[in-house]
Amino acid sequence: MGKLYVIGSINMDVVSSVSQFPLPGETIHSSGTSFFPGGKGANQAVAAAMAGAECAMIGAVGRDPFGDTLVSSLEDRGVEVKSVLAKEGTSGMAIITVNEEGENHIVLSAGANGQLTEADVQAEVRFEDVYAVLLQNEIPWETNVAVIQSASAAGVRVWLNPAPARALPPSLFPLLDTLILNETEAAAVSGVKVEDPMTAELAAGKLLGLGTENVIVTLGEQGCFYANRRGERITVPAYRVKPVDTTAAGDTFIGAYAAASSGGMATEAALRFAAAAAALTVTRPGAQASIPSKQEIELFLEKQPASAH
């Protein structure tokens, strides 16, 4: 099993629970507000570590009261944190509203995440014995591009989750081993409207044609679709659960899949493992606090017959 590097965002999630989302200009009451360590990068690192991978986080927090809490949350869940830097100013924050159906609205404030530079990453990264580098879009894009180029040049797999969604320059696709996207992100990157496994296959085909080796499109309740340049196609249904909070479901899928893949699990089994991890996550509130352990995922899978998807 090789090491995973997650280079990305670390946020404090400020979560308010509401019966329904407010209309523009409307003031509504929340039934409660909670603070949960989150951030796409940090969530993916926690999910990978909880699922059994050796995982190091490279990112930044602010010199504010949240900073130590965010680092401790990572460390307590098995993530290596020696490359988490402290920057002047505030930590990243996500202001999240969750409705009764478990759906969420999220407003991001970059904070220290916006100060993570190419030089910061170069000073911390050692590519020896690294299975893959995981990236997202919550740190400066210039930093991501530099990491993609240097990791690819070193022969290290680069996995990109382009969230929040943005178009990618054509020159980057051949440098990416794996693109992992949800429906919205797949549409933004490929130009193909994605609504189901059939349209996911169309979007994946376009992205593979641009040079990426593997594409995974997550489809929420419709499961996920995988394709690679060798012609392999896999559709994995979602596990049926009652959602409480969908925050971090996608990040959990990515981290769990990375852990399973780095541990040598076959692709379809790794996708099912990741789908189970995501299913467990949505049954619990919060981001990192909701991410299951490897043992919990395996126990969940043991109790799920094929017909339960």
Q: Beta-carbon neighbour count of residue 77 at 10 Å?
A: 19
B/e letters for 46-67, b = 16+ CB within 10 Å, e = fewer, are bbbbbbbbbbbbbbbbbebebb
The structure tokens listed for 147 are 């990491």
Q: Which residues are catalytic, by number?
A: 251
Q: For tokens 């690192």, what's the residue?
A: 45
Question: CA-to-CA distance for 276 and 299, rounded, in angstroms?
Answer: 10
Cite the DSSP H helix spans in the chain.
40-50, 65-76, 118-124, 141-153, 183-190, 197-209, 249-262, 267-281, 294-302
Task: Work out the end-to-end distance of the chain between its first and last CA atoms, rounded to an integer number of angstroms.
Answer: 29
Contact 287, 47 (CB under 8 A): no
Contact 201, 227 (CB under 8 A): yes
Q: For tokens 């944190």, what's the residue?
A: 81
- Parallel, antiparallel or unpaired: strands 11-17 and 92-98: parallel
Question: CA-to-CA distance for 296 and 290, rounded, in angstroms?
Answer: 12
Q: For tokens 């190091």, what's the residue?
A: 56
Q: For tokens 């039934």, what's the residue?
A: 31
| Beta partners for residue 11, in sequence order | 38, 92
Q: Beta-carbon neighbour count of residue 262 at 10 Å?
A: 23
